[in-house]
Amino acid sequence: MSIVFLSACAPHQPAPVTNVHRGPTFHDYQQGSWSAESYEVRRGDTLYSIAFRANMDIRQVAQLNNLQEPYVIFPGQILQLSAESTSVAQQQHTATPQNQPPAQATEPTTSQVRNNVPEVSVANDISPPVVSSPQTAYGENVNNAKTNEIQPIRAITNPRERTIANADLNWQWPNRGQITRRFSTQEPMNRGLEIAGQRGEPVVAAEAGKVVYVGTALRGYGRLIILKHNDDYITAYGHNEELMVVEQQWVEAGQQIATMGSSGRNDVRLRFELRFRGNSVNPENYLPRSR
């Protein structure tokens, strides 16, 4: 996924198609631009983030690489992203001389074994979420910021993790700010919505689900959160400031998961994407018309 991702426009009009590249911190990476047949795992990656970046269903990536849940991967590991590359890799493995010593394996970290977390053995390059302090990373006091109309629900002490059927999904807006960029199948960087707001405004879960990624490994998305709602649907929330969830945590619909940020830009906005079986879909086709 820069993962990803300008002028504001009326909610009923699509943003003009223009090249607004302003440097390597935002538009240097196009969503789905990883087209190579293999990928070398890097620090901070999870299988979900790799599948997200390659516009693939995580189950497909896991099957190609013979991975089972909880999908533990390690920095330096080569993942195959196509059936053809998998076949070539298997042939090379078969042709390896039997007397050649195997590559040294990297042991999972203690926390990874304890929590059964599907991430690489090195922690993501982010600070632990701090929800009690009103200070933001930019030294601004969010108590003075204009609050959004959304009233996020409080975190549930013992949330009940469950399987949600597609027919039972009840989507809601993650923030009620003005839409400044709409979904487009013509522009790679427009495979979601960008919603303007004020720094510190709440970002809430669009539906109940499990947090499967929290980190900054996907360039262009800033501090990114990915939620898995069931085997078919995931949502992504980019350019956050304060992160209020951790991986493997279950959250309820409407629960606050972050505050809005800018990822180093002057404009504060939320990048929101919805994926169905690995493919980007227009969130406005699922979200309620009224906000």
Tens digits of residue pLDDT in 170-193: 999 999 999 999 999 887 667 899
Let me know if 77 is exposed, middle or buried by CB neighbors in 10 A (0-12, 13-18, 19+).
middle
In this predicted model, what pLDDT tens digit does every residue of 88-146 receive, in sequence order? 444 544 444 444 433 333 434 333 333 333 343 333 444 333 333 333 332 333 344 44
The count of residues in the chain is 291
Per-residue pLDDT, averaged over 273-283, amounts to 95
Cα separation of 109 and 234, whole Å?
A: 27
Whether pTM > 0.75 for this model: the answer is no
- Please tell me which residue, 129 or 251, carries the higher pLDDT value: 251
Cα separation of 207 and 181, whole Å?
A: 22
Phi/psi at 242 (5° precision): -95, 125
Round the average pLDDT of the chain to a whole number and report it.
74
